Amino acid sequence: MISSERIPNNVDLSGNKRLQRALEHWQPKYLQWWRDMGPHGFQDYHQVYVRTAVSVDPEGWANFEYVKLPEYRWGIFLAEPVHDRRIGFGDFHGQPVWQEVPGEFRNQLRRLIVTQGDTEPASVEQQRLLGQRCPSMYDLRNLFQVNVEEGRHLWAMVYLLHSYFGRDGRDEAEELLERQSGNRDKPRILQAFNEPIENWLDFFMFTMFTDRDGKSQLMSLSESSLDPLSRTTRFMLTEEAHHMFVGETGVSRILERTCQLMRQAGFSEDVRKLGGIDIPTVQKHLNQWFSLSLDLHGGEVSSNAASYFANGLKGRAKEETYDDHLLKDAYYHMEFFEDGRPVLKDVLMRNAMNEVLRDWYVGDCGAGVARWNRVLEQHGMSDRLTLPDRKFNRRIGMYGGFHFDPNGVPLSAEEWERRKYEWLPAASDLEYLLSIMAEPVYQPGQFASYIAPPRRGINQLPIDFEYVRTEL
């Protein structure tokens, strides 16, 4: 069970007074960051129906209750240890996992943890104004659930930094609160987390695609030879599933409503005139967030990724499903782009590990898009959403200096500049979205014109339940 201490935890924090004091010193700084950079306008006078971790038991880990957001019980929760767990991949395969950080891998592990940790507060900052434009109380509650859990994931990474990296770790924990999404002088580490999220279509696409990358990264880190990191990320994955649910079902409900509006108009009128979101605009936002999220996996050929795998720091998602856990002589058949044309080459599998993880990610995203297309199919629509080619709109890796259309066809820089808003959101698209989201919907059971109600409420409650209460 989770303790009822000042910092809820299941790591016997009270048994390590030095660590406890350090984290209690960091806690008020975190709370101040939350007030400054968390959900704007919903800090003091609203009670939100959210789930809070009370256990790490998969059968009953969360409790639902009304909470003021600054009073949410953020804490430190690790999944239960696996008896006699062994290193599952790399050069140390089969040896006991580590309970402390080996000195030779200290910098690499710290880099992995800081990069993961930086994404958590970044997304809260990106989404802080969305409550002013919410399409329903149900969606507002889901936004806040995502936000508080991203905050808890920050706590998870800060615990590891404080526990295993000494003064360097404490300094890194301070900087996690000092960087800000989109800040010109001190931005977040990864570009996708500096992009603005000002409308709910962006939010749903972010939680569908960028949080799905988070799932991919957490699954890889859960294989780590550093057991506290593995246990931390395994529990984070329990919470992350809801975030992707919010994104996938949010877009599904937008498509549902778009189809309803088009049917009402006899399929002859621009759905924007009816207050809906047209399918080409949905596709543009899909293109943007999928391509941004592809970049989060890093370069296609990476010596860092090879080192992480060899040293047992970061593995493949579901490593136990593979036959070869060493990959010393294995190769990956990779497409390169040379002299304006694709060229296939064999790359050492360890060096191609980012691309191996990207393959898994693309497949997982494709399954989600297929579910969206079933909504269109059920309404008799011929339109279909598609994932763009993985070369499209890339800023990282071998394709970063080139331009391609969504089908992967090479473009000149001039043609890209002329045509890019055929495939990515233009200023006029964003202006339209903000116009239909200008008035928030705070009445229980009511929904904005551009989105359908969900099939069911939260925690078996009705859709028109008062998920967010206002204190007068």
Q: Kindly state the average pLDDT of the residues 151-155.
A: 97
| Cα gap 56→50, rounded to integer Å | 17
Strand-pairing partners, residue 66, are 49
Under 8 Å between Cβ of 158 and 26: yes
Does residue 4 sit within a domain?
no
- Residue 106: the pLDDT is 97
Q: Kindly state the average pLDDT of the residues 355-360.
A: 96
Does residue 1 sit within a domain?
no
Encode pLDDT of 132-148 as tens digits. Answer: 999 999 999 999 999 99
Does residue 219 sit within a domain?
yes
Q: Which domain holds residue 439?
A: 13-470
Please tell me the least confidently modeled range out of 56-65, 305-314, 461-470: 56-65
Encode pLDDT of 56-89 as tens digits. Answer: 877 778 899 999 999 999 999 999 999 999 999 9
- Residue 5: the pLDDT is 76
Give 341's pLDDT tier (boundaries 50, 70, 90): confident
- Residue 472: the pLDDT is 64
Does residue 294 sit within a domain?
yes
- Residue 114: the pLDDT is 98
Q: Kindly state the average pLDDT of the residues 368-378.
A: 98
Helical (H) or strand (E) element with 347: strand 341-348
Q: Kindly state the average pLDDT of the residues 105-117.
A: 98
Encode pLDDT of 422-458 as tens digits. Answer: 999 999 999 999 999 999 999 999 999 999 999 999 9
The amino acid that residue 291 corresponds to is: S
Residue 3 pLDDT > 60, yes or no?
no
447 DSSP 8-state letter: -
Residue 156: burial class (beta carbons within 10 Å; 0-12, 13-18, 19+):
buried
Does residue 244 sit within a domain?
yes
| Cα gap 76→11, rounded to integer Å | 7
Residue 303 pLDDT > 90, yes or no?
yes
Give 4's pLDDT tier (boundaries 50, 70, 90): low
Q: Kindly state the average pLDDT of the residues 23-51.
A: 97
Total-model pTM: 0.96
Encode pLDDT of 274-300 as tens digits. Answer: 999 999 999 999 999 999 999 999 999
Q: Kindly state the average pLDDT of the residues 341-349.
A: 94
- Residue 53: the pLDDT is 85
Tokens of 125: 């900052």
Does residue 6 sit within a domain?
no
Encode pLDDT of 178-211 as tens digits. Answer: 999 999 999 999 999 999 999 999 999 999 999 9
Residue bearing the bigger pLDDT, 15 or 342: 15
State the CB neighbour count (10 A cutoff) for residue 223: 25
Residue 164 pLDDT > 80, yes or no?
yes
Does residue 2 sit within a domain?
no
Domain total in the chain: 1
- Residue 58: the pLDDT is 72
| Cα gap 104→195, rounded to integer Å | 35
Q: From its phi and psi, is residue 128 left (phi > 0), alpha (psi between -120 and 50) or beta?
A: alpha
CATH number of the domain at 188, please. Answer: 1.10.620.20
- Residue 35: the pLDDT is 97
Does residue 217 sit within a domain?
yes
Encode pLDDT of 374-413 as tens digits. Answer: 999 999 999 999 999 999 999 999 999 899 999 999 999 9
Encode pLDDT of 248-272 as tens digits. Answer: 999 999 999 999 999 988 766 789 9
| Cα gap 181→189, rounded to integer Å | 9
